[in-house]
Amino acid sequence: MKEKITYEEYLNTFEKDKNGKYMHLIIPEKELSAEINLIGKTDAKFTLDEIIKMTQFASRLFALVDKKTIK
């Protein structure tokens, strides 16, 4: 994962289409977890494990956001 990202990159990761499906959301492989591709899935179709991992990923990713890029 990059050292810093822009807020726009962060938002792009969680972008949804008009049907509420994620367009770019792939949670990378981490220690004991395989990569999770959530492209084309809606929130309602997530498993409990996917919800937990997505929440953790979003938190880790937000920590990388260069706060100067938030408007």
What are the tens digits of pLDDT across the range 16-50?
A: 999 999 999 999 998 778 999 999 999 999 999 99
State the pLDDT at residue 54: 95
The mean pLDDT value of the chain amounts to: 94
Q: Is the pLDDT of residue 57 over 70?
A: yes
The percent of residues above 70 in pLDDT, for the chain, comes to: 97
Q: Is the pLDDT of residue 2 over 70?
A: no
Q: What is the DSSP string of 6-70?
A: -HHHHHHHT-B-TTS-BSS-EEPPBTTB--EE-TT--GGG--HHHHHHHHHHHHHHHHTB-GGG-
